[in-house]
């Protein structure tokens, strides 16, 4: 790959890998000199000039009248928006196989998944040199595909980057982040898209982003996170721990974090509860798809539109979330999940008294084949998120770094930092990539 | 009979509750944005002014103010509700456990909370070919919901409660608020065991009609041995009847969850920094007690204007409050529309001086009246002396009494003999003086001559 893909080649690549759901009409900026940074945005980020469909058929044709703050800030800084990247519908998925459009293919092996839900973003970064992808994580949607596609994925603290213009999955969990090949790109673009924005009040309580001044010295590895790993991931992770100690002089210690076990259940209750309210607005009125007879009773019209245009996983999560909020179940599920979240946060905080970071593998296995995914039951797919969910539930900044290769497929490790301490992640990204040789797929269009 | 109300009053903020759209647009769908249309990617940002007003209302209703509040999502599907959830307050209302006095009776206030208004649906077209149009200008306008205990015992009392409440609210949050036609209420009414909810009645008059109809209907049912079922009804404004909307076997499930996009707001500092506001009816009560004047009259003053009450109090401090009351409700009220726009400290002082002079008998009543009229049109009171005309009135009376000494003689046994003098003056002066003025002048002159 050249640093600047020519437009033709890009179109061909996309036909093959289904990374972008929409590309900029005019791609001539790719040949400009001096070169501009080209970036992509996950399809749940609103950008003027593009549809924003969040991977869902129900948003077919929706062209938002405003830019998401993160996109606006990238553009102000001179970056050019190349296109919108493919994703699981509304972020609902671990493999990017729940898109209402095509299914993106892993650049390392086309028979394997990219990971989800920011699958297109990770694949684009893996395929295009110098590319910066804006992704979004609710329960691990940046870490997971970064790990499967062998790139760096940074998910900042909840509230660090304005969510204005982000199509909501679960507002108390959604975080915009970056997928890149080179940690220098994190140092350049994280400060650009961070910072308070009155259009998202939850971004207005953040302390200023500091990118230096702390070095990673001690990391904790919870033993709960090294159970149920595939052998390839297990061995690559073990090698990485050794490298951290021997090559980087970082103290690695095994710890126990028992509340991590409950994070997954709490996450799925909270995320689906919020999602089921967020998705209520999609009904074929005002925006998005409208292909039915509007003279029907509104209830029938809404139900038909939603039945025809939401995918299976979206429907499943609406049902789960609605159930968890119902009178009689609300206390048992929704309220309890809120309490568990506090427990998880407290346990991390305790850990950060003695350690700079908490380290785990990112995913328990390498990118699976599509055929394997088809055989998975929904619960098994949810369980694959057990390592990425805890920091997301706690709103903690975290980073997935490529840390090895198994069966020629990338393996990732995930580092979790205290709230607002993204600088520790930038430090470890710099140091790790100075010694670790990252691989990128050689692909001809 | 037990009646409880859920009253919805729009807060007169300039912009909406969660976006900067104007609240005063006329043209349908001209004041809308991604946030109040619930576009994907938009999110709310709180209008602090609305919170402030809600706290003021809750404080006025003697509620306990929540130290911290947050918002919740109330989910239901309806075309006028863009997000299909309403951002409202569920488990942390601004205020709870208050009360409001109506004619000496305390009506419990269960809660006061803030929420966003949905859009407005308008049905147009001939029957059978009706089309629903939606105007989202109203979507996102701040509302305060006031929930009463079922302490109201008649439709009449409910009307008085709401009328008086609106008087007070208008003063607290601004003149345009709490319009009697635009106020919306849900009413729970029960004659026996089961309660019926009449939803979304607009305007004070409709509320009273709906309650009366519903009370009658339930009464008749109970009398004929039928059971009232628990249900939601709506009020048909055209036919003036309540109609069953749906039977309510269980509470509607709105699946409340917290609104994650809005934070937790600390109200304690907010509430303590707010000045206590004296509302019109509370003021009438205070004036009535303090100056020992009739409550109804005090009420009449405050309902005209709080500035008129200021004037009354300025006068009552200097003269007998009863006299102050008569002058306030008489000559001053008569000239109020002209007086109000030029009310300055000096003007207040001039008016008080005039009344003082009358009381001190430096000038006559009619001179006093005339001077107030002069002040009202911006002329200096002293410049427009009415002494000449008063002298003229006095001289007509004197002349008549001189010519008819019999009147004075008869007066002791028959005060009606003064009527001949009055009749003469009215005839001669041809309506120049009002009868009250003449009666007073005649009485004074006769007394003087007798004394």
Q: What is the pLDDT of residue B245?
A: 83
Most confident residue range from A151-155, B165-169, B424-428: A151-155
Structure tokens at A191: 């400060």
What is the structure's pLDDT at A271? 98
| Portions of chain B given CATH number 1.10.10 | 388-450
Closest CA of chain A from B46, distance in Å: 8
Count the neighbouring beta carbons within 10 Å of the beta carbon of residue A88: 31
Please report, in tens digits, the pLDDT of each residue of chain A (445 residues total): 345 678 888 999 999 999 999 999 999 888 888 888 999 999 999 999 999 999 999 999 999 999 999 999 999 999 999 999 999 999 999 999 999 999 999 999 999 999 999 999 999 999 999 999 999 999 999 999 999 999 999 999 999 999 999 999 999 999 999 999 999 999 999 999 999 999 999 999 999 999 999 999 999 999 999 999 999 999 999 999 999 999 999 999 999 999 999 999 999 999 999 999 999 999 999 999 987 788 888 999 999 999 999 999 999 999 999 999 998 999 999 999 999 999 999 999 999 999 999 999 999 999 999 999 999 999 999 999 999 999 999 999 999 999 999 999 999 999 999 999 999 999 999 999 999 999 999 887 5
Q: Name the pLDDT band for B20 (thresholds 50, 70, 90).
A: very high
Q: Which of B37, B73, B253 sits opposite A326 (nearest CB)?
A: B253
The domain B388-450 is placed in CATH, from the list 1.10.3470, 1.20.272, 2.60.40, 1.10.10, at 1.10.10
Which residues of B lie inside 8 Å of A (Cβ-Cβ)?
A: 34, 37-46, 73, 75, 77-79, 82-85, 251, 253, 255-263
Tell me the chain B residues in contact with residue A334 when contact means C-beta distances shorter than 8 Å.
257
Q: pLDDT value at position A34?
A: 85
User: Is position A194 annotated as part of the catalytic site?
Assistant: no
- Between CA A9 and CA A15, with CA A14 as vertex, the angle to 5 degrees is 100
B244 in Cβ contact with B233 (< 8 Å):
yes
What lies within 8 Å, CB to CB, of A171 at 6+ separation is A163, A274, A278, B43, B259, B260, B261
Residue B225 falls in which region: left (phi positive, over 0), alpha (psi -120 to 50) or beta: left
Give the chain A residue whose CA is nearest to the CA of B250. Answer: A327
Over residues B43-71, mean pLDDT: 95
Q: For chain A, how are helix, strand and coil distributed in percent, rounded to 5?
A: 40, 15, 45
Active site residue A143: no
Q: In whole angstroms, what is the distance from residue A405 CA to residue A399 CA?
A: 18
- The answer to whether B40 contacts A167, with C-beta atoms less than 8 Å apart, is yes
pLDDT score of B381:
55
3-state secondary structure of A396: coil
- Give the dihedral of Cα atoms A11, A87, A314, A371; nearest 10 deg: 80
| Both structure tokens of A23 | 């590309």
DSSP reduced 3-state for A283: coil
Pairing of strands A218-222, A251-255: parallel
Cβ-nearest to B257 among A165, A201, A277? A277
Per-residue pLDDT at B391: 64
Average pLDDT over residues B419-424: 85
Report the sign of the C-alpha dihedral through residues A279, A281, A283, A289, in that order.
negative
Name, in order, each residue with C-beta under 8 angstroms of B395's C-beta and a sequence gap of 6 or more.
none
Q: What are phi and psi of A336, to 5 degrees?
A: -65, -40
pLDDT band at B127 (very low <50, low <70, confident <90, very high): confident
Give the alpha-carbon dihedral of B331, B334, B337, B343, to 10 degrees. 10
- Contact present, B45 and B178 (Cβ < 8 Å): no
Per residue in B238-276, pLDDT (tens digit) is 899 999 886 544 567 899 999 999 989 999 887 788 888
The residues facing A177 across adjacent strands are A135
Q: Residue A3's pLDDT is what?
A: 59
- Do the Cβ atoms of A281 and B40 come within 8 Å? yes
CA distance A344 to A384: 19
Q: H-type helices in B88-247, by residue range? A: 155-173, 204-223
Q: What is the DSSP string of B1-56?
A: -EEEEEEEEE---SB-SSS--BS---STT-S--TTTTT-TT------HHHHHHHHH
Q: pTM score, two decimals? A: 0.88
Minimal Cα–Cα distance from B73 to chain A, Å? 8
List, for residues B300-340, the tens digit of each pLDDT value.
Answer: 999 999 999 999 999 999 999 999 999 999 999 999 999 99
Active site residue A350: no
CB pairs under 8 A between A and B: 102
pLDDT over 60 (residue B386): no
The ipTM value here is 0.94
Q: Locate the chain A residue with the closest alpha carbon to B81.
A: A281
- With a cut of 70, say whether residue B96 has pLDDT above it: yes
B195-235 pLDDT, tens digit each: 999 999 999 999 999 999 999 999 999 999 988 888 889 99
Q: What is the rounded CA–CA span in Å between residue B221 and residue B226?
A: 5
Structural domains of chain A, with CATH: 7-258+344-435 (3.90.1300.10)
The pLDDT value recorded for residue A201 is: 95
The pLDDT of residue A67? 97
């Amino acid at each position: 790959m050249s640093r600047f893909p020519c437009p033709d080649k890009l179109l061909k690549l996309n036909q093959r890998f289904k990374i972008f759901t929409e590309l900029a009409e005019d791609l001539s900026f790719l040949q400009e000199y001096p070169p501009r940074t080209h970036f992509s945005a996950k399809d749940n980020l609103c950008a003027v000039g593009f549809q924003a469909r969040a991977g869902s058929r129900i948003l077919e044709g929706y062209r938002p009248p405003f830019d998401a703050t993160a996109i606006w800030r990238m553009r102000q800084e001179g970056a050019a928006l190349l296109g919108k990247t493919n994703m699981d519908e509304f972020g609902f998925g671990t493999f990017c196989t729940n898109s209402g459009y095509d299914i993106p293919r892993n650049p390392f092996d086309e028979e394997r998944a990219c990971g989800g839900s920011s699958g297109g973003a990770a694949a684009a970064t893996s395929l295009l040199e110098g590319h910066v992808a804006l992704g979004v994580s609710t329960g691990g949607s940046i870490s997971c595909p970064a790990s499967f596609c062998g790139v760096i994925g940074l998910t900042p603290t909840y509230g660090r980057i304005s969510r204005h213009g982000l199509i909501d999955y679960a507002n108390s969990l959604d975080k915009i982040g970056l997928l890149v090949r080179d940690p220098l790109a994190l140092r350049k673009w994280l400060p650009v898209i961070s910072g308070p924005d009155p259009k998202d009040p939850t971004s207005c309580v953040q302390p200023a982003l500091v990118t230096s001044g702390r070095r990673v010295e001690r990391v904790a590895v919870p033993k709960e996170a090294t159970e149920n790993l595939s052998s390839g991931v297990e061995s690559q992770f073990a090698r990485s721990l050794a490298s951290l100690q021997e090559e980087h002089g970082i103290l690695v210690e095994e710890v126990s974090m028992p509340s991590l076990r409950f994070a997954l259940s709490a996450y799925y209750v909270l995320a689906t509860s919020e999602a089921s309210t967020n998705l209520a607005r999609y009904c074929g009125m005002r925006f998005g798809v409208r292909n039915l007879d509007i003279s029907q009773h509104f209830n029938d019209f809404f139900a038909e539109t939603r039945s025809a245009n939401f995918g299976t996983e979206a429907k499943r999560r609406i049902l789960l979330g609605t159930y968890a909020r119902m009178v009689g179940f609300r206390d048992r599920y929704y309220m309890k999940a809120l309490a568990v979240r506090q427990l998880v946060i407290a346990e991390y905080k305790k850990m950060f008294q003695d350690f700079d970071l908490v380290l785990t593998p990112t995913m328990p296995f390498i990118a699976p084949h599509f055929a394997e995914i088809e055989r998975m039951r929904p619960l098994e797919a949810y369980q694959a998120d057990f390592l990425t969910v805890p920091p997301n539930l706690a709103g903690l900044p975290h980073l997935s770094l490529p840390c090895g290769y198994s069966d020629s497929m990338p393996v990732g490790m995930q580092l979790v930092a205290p709230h607002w301490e993204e600088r520790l992640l930038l430090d470890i990204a710099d140091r790790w990539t100075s010694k670790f040789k990252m691989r990128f797929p050689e692909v001809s269009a | 009979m037990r009646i409880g109300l859920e009253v919805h009053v729009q807060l007169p903020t300039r912009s909406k509750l969660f976006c900067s759209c104007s609240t005063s647009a006329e043209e349908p769908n001209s004041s809308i944005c991604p946030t109040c249309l619930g576009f994907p990617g938009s999110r709310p940002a709180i209008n602090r002014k609305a919170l402030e007003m809600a706290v003021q209302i809750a404080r006025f209703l003697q509620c306990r103010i929540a130290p911290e509040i947050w918002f919740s999502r109330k989910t239901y599907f309806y075309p006028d509700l863009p997000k299909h959830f309403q951002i409202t307050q569920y488990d942390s209302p601004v205020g709870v456990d208050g009360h409001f006095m109506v004619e000496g009776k305390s009506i419990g206030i269960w809660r006061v909370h803030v929420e966003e208004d949905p859009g407005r649906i308008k049905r147009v077209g001939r029957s059978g070919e009706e089309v629903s149009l939606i105007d989202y200008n109203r979507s996102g306008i701040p509302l305060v919901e006031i929930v009463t205990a079922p302490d109201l015992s008649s439709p009449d009392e409910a009307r008085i409660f709401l009328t008086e409440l609106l008087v007070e609210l208008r003063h607290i949050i601004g003149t345009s608020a709490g319009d009697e036609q635009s106020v919306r209420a849900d009413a729970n009414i029960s004659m026996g065991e089961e309660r019926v909810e009449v939803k979304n009645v607009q305007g004070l008059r409709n509320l009273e009609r709906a309650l009366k109809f519903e009370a009658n209907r339930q009464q008749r049912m109970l009398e004929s041995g039928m059971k009232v079922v628990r249900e939601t009804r709506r009020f048909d404004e055209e036919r003036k009847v309540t109609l069953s909307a749906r039977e309510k076997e269980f509470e509607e499930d709105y699946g409340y969850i917290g609104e994650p996009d809005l934070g937790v707001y600390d109200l304690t500092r907010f509430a303590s920094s707010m000045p206590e506001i004296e509302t019109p009816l509370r003021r009438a009560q205070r004036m009535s007690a303090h100056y020992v004047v009739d409550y109804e009259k005090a009420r009449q003053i405050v309902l005209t204007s709080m500035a008129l009450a200021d004037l009354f109090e300025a006068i009552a401090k200097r003269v007998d409050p009863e006299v102050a009351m008569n002058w306030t409700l008489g000559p001053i009220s008569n000239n109020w529309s002209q007086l109000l726009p030029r009310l300055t400290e000096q003007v207040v002082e001039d008016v008080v001086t005039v009344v003082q002079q009358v009381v001190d008998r430096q000038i006559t009543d009619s001179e006093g009246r005339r001077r107030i009229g002069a002040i009202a049109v911006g002329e200096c009171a002293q410049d427009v002396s009415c002494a000449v005309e008063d002298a003229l009135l006095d001289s007509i009376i004197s002349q008549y009494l001189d010519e008819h000494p019999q009147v004075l003689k008869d007066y002791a046994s028959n005060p009606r003999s003064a009527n001949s003098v009055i009749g003469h003056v009215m005839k001669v002066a041809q309506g120049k003086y009002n009868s009250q003025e003449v009666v007073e002048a005649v009485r004074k002159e006769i007394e003087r001559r007798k004394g």
